[in-house]
Amino acid sequence: MVKLIVFHRRRGEVSVEDWNAVWRGAYLDGLGKLPGSPRVVLDVPVPGQDGTRADGIDEVEWDDLGAAREAVGGAWLRYLIERASATQAEGWPCGGLFDERVVMEPPARGAGAKRMGRIHRLTGLDAKTFDARWRDEHGPLVLALPGIAGYVQQVAVQPVTGLAALDGVAVLWFADRAAAEQAFAGPAGEAARADAAEIMDAARVAATYVEERDAAAAAVVEDAPPGVWRNWSGLVRCQPQRIEMPRSEAELIAAVRRADREGLTVRVAGTGHSFTPLCASDGLLLSLDGMTGLVSASPERVEATAWAGTTIHDLGPLLHAHGLAMENMGDIDRQTLGGAVGTGTHGTGRELGSISTQVLGLRLITARGEVVDCSATEEPELWRAARVSLGALGVISQVRLRLVPAFRLHEMRWDWPFDRAMAALDRMISDNHHFEYFWNPQTDLCAMKSLNPTWREPGDATTGQRIDWSHRVFPSERTFRFNEMEFALPAERGPECVRAVRALMRERFPDVALPIEYRTLAADDIPLSPASGRATVTISVHQAAQLDHRTFFGEVEDVFRAHGGRPHWGKLHTHRAAALAALYLDWPRFQAVRRRLDPDGRFLNPHLRQLLEA
């Protein structure tokens, strides 16, 4: 079964606000959840669509994808031919023919500017007027298209040479090039090929094929073969001699001791959500998937102890059952507690630190298989260091967390142009418990997001807002695979740094479709925490997992470096020990603890040696 979801706004029938709400609520949010499917962005009624529903969504079903494509393609072509001739005089842009696909491209920036310059001349408008016109008339679609472009790149159009993440992309499939050429024969096709006519009256319709497939089967990053471990983005792979999953502390200790006797490198992996090769091992790779759940919880002391293999996702409801919650979380909740503590995973907040700052105590299994408990009062120097320790001090088996009474969060999301977002930034940060934004390089809009504790009920939320228990509101879902780089900067340098990264992206990497994320983090006293000793802003950039991120990330890293940034340990960077030592005041303290706990470097893989050994 193939379903086509058609979003449409008939001018005068559906308000822009409703249309935006549809995009936001039903489409953009759902985009990442849809199973791998080819998509089409359309501006055309298709057979079976009545186009009258007030919510702006129709669903049309076909038996198979071929039939769906044929129907949509046919409808689009008819429309294309009509519109191409009608708009040719206006000289609006459209795309070209690539092999058996037609790619429609609304305006681009940077690398596309030359082409756009030609289009501007054709339209007789200067770039500014053109942009304003495009944005005014096509705003909602432009807003949605970068996501679609990224998605198209991910699942549908890899063989299309020259397809870049522009403001928008629409792809039409034909059985072969001959069929496409035939379809585009004649004056209308000529017009399309010549980039001479705009065919997308974008405010009207965009549509999505949904091929009914199991979401898991649609994962872009294919599963690793047996015996091979890979991280979430697929960038890191390793083939350890053994992968073991102990089911108890005794089994964990035995596994570590065995590896020590055999002289094997020991690494422990959480859910592999780090982009750097922290977990890679050619010796023993431990998974704590068998050591999950609560050890104890105390609503009176407002704390709980959990096994380190517990994911934050699973922890939420367990704590909630005791009337407890974590005070802050990151963007997602798929990480294990051990992994989150391992890298200093953080969310955003005016006065809130990373998850590591919530750690009251840890139990570690050392390289020799000894059990060590640490806290502010027991082995305090170890506790200080172990709260961000990259799995280099030992295997954390249990984590004791400082919590807060369960609370509800009120989430608000809205879009502002970059300049407006930056002008309001300080106020946004100080007025909200948690504030962050995602700058969209293709639209120059910032997706603003605030979270504030509330006593109100879920039903009190109005459109575009959300109220629910914190563990449900904090995390987002990220099914679109990407690689990421994030640096932690002195808070006061955040604004100038994000401006510099934005300028670089516009100038040098206009095709990148994924956003910059801007968050805040309170100072802490953890030696290897990126927020150690200073109020912090974190800025991250992303690139789709199947695209090469290296040149882009390399140049952004230079900007971060120039602004005194410290890399997120789990996100891509090229910093090595000497540079890192200069960034962390307490570097020697961490190293002293590490040499005491792991004198033989049992927990060091090549990546960690580069990070920790001069």
Question: Which spans of this chain sit near ligand FAD (rule: CB under 6 A)?
Answer: 232, 267-274, 278-279, 288, 308, 330-332, 335-336, 338-340, 342-343, 345-346, 390-391, 395-396, 478, 568, 570
Q: Please state the closest distance from residue 520 (CB atom) to ligand FAD, in A.
A: 12
Instruction: Report residue 24 CA to chain centroid gap.
Output: 17
Q: Please state the closest distance from residue 552 (CB atom) to ligand FAD, in A.
A: 18
Instruction: Fill in the amino acid letter for 101.
Output: R
Q: Please state the closest distance from residue 426 (CB atom) to ligand FAD, in A.
A: 22
Identify the residue whose tokens are 């681009």: 108
Q: Please identify, using beta-carbon distances, which residue of 115 and 466 lies nearer to ligand FAD.
A: 466
Q: Please identify, using beta-carbon distances, which residue of 180 and 359 lies nearer to ligand FAD.
A: 359
DSSP annotation of 459: G
Residue 325, phi then psi, degrees to nearest 5:
-155, 160
Q: Please state the closest distance from residue 21 (CB atom) to ligand FAD, in A.
A: 26
Q: Please identify, using beta-carbon distances, which residue of 353 and 570 lies nearer to ligand FAD.
A: 570
Decide if 212 contacts 206 (C-beta within 8 A).
no
Of 240, 218, 71, the C-alpha closest to 155 is 218
Decide if 3 contacts 60 (C-beta within 8 A).
yes
Length of the chain: 614
Q: Please identify, using beta-carbon distances, which residue of 87 and 483 lies nearer to ligand FAD.
A: 483
Q: Please identify, using beta-carbon distances, which residue of 31 and 71 lies nearer to ligand FAD.
A: 31
Q: Please state the closest distance from residue 156 (CB atom) to ligand FAD, in A.
A: 21
Terminal CA-CA length for the chain: 58
Identify the residue whose tokens are 């934050």: 312
Q: Please state the closest distance from residue 530 (CB atom) to ligand FAD, in A.
A: 9
Q: Which two tokens stand for residue 134?
A: 């495009």
Q: Is 231 exposed, middle or buried (0-12, 13-18, 19+ CB in 10 A)?
A: buried
Q: Please identify, using beta-carbon distances, which residue of 173 and 435 lies nearer to ligand FAD.
A: 435
Q: Please state the closest distance from residue 101 (CB atom) to ligand FAD, in A.
A: 30
Q: Please identify, using beta-carbon distances, which residue of 335 and 532 lies nearer to ligand FAD.
A: 335
> Helix, strand, coil: what percent of the chain each, to 5?
35, 25, 40
Q: Please identify, using beta-carbon distances, which residue of 104 and 593 lies nearer to ligand FAD.
A: 593
Strand partners, 396: 364
Q: Is 542 exposed, middle or buried (0-12, 13-18, 19+ CB in 10 A)?
A: buried
Q: Rounded to whole angstroms, how far apart are CA atoms 349 and 343?
A: 18
Q: Please state the closest distance from residue 613 (CB atom) to ligand FAD, in A.
A: 16
Q: Please identify, using beta-carbon distances, which residue of 362 and 421 lies nearer to ligand FAD.
A: 362
Identify the residue whose tokens are 């293709």: 442
Q: Which residues of 294-330 are buried (b: 16+ CB within 10 A; e: fewer)?
A: beebeeeebbbbbbbbbbbbbbbebbeebebbbbbbb
Strand partners, 398: 307, 363
Residue 371, phi then psi, degrees to nearest 5:
-100, 125
Q: Please state the closest distance from residue 347 (CB atom) to ligand FAD, in A.
A: 6
Q: Please identify, using beta-carbon distances, which residue of 206 and 395 lies nearer to ligand FAD.
A: 395
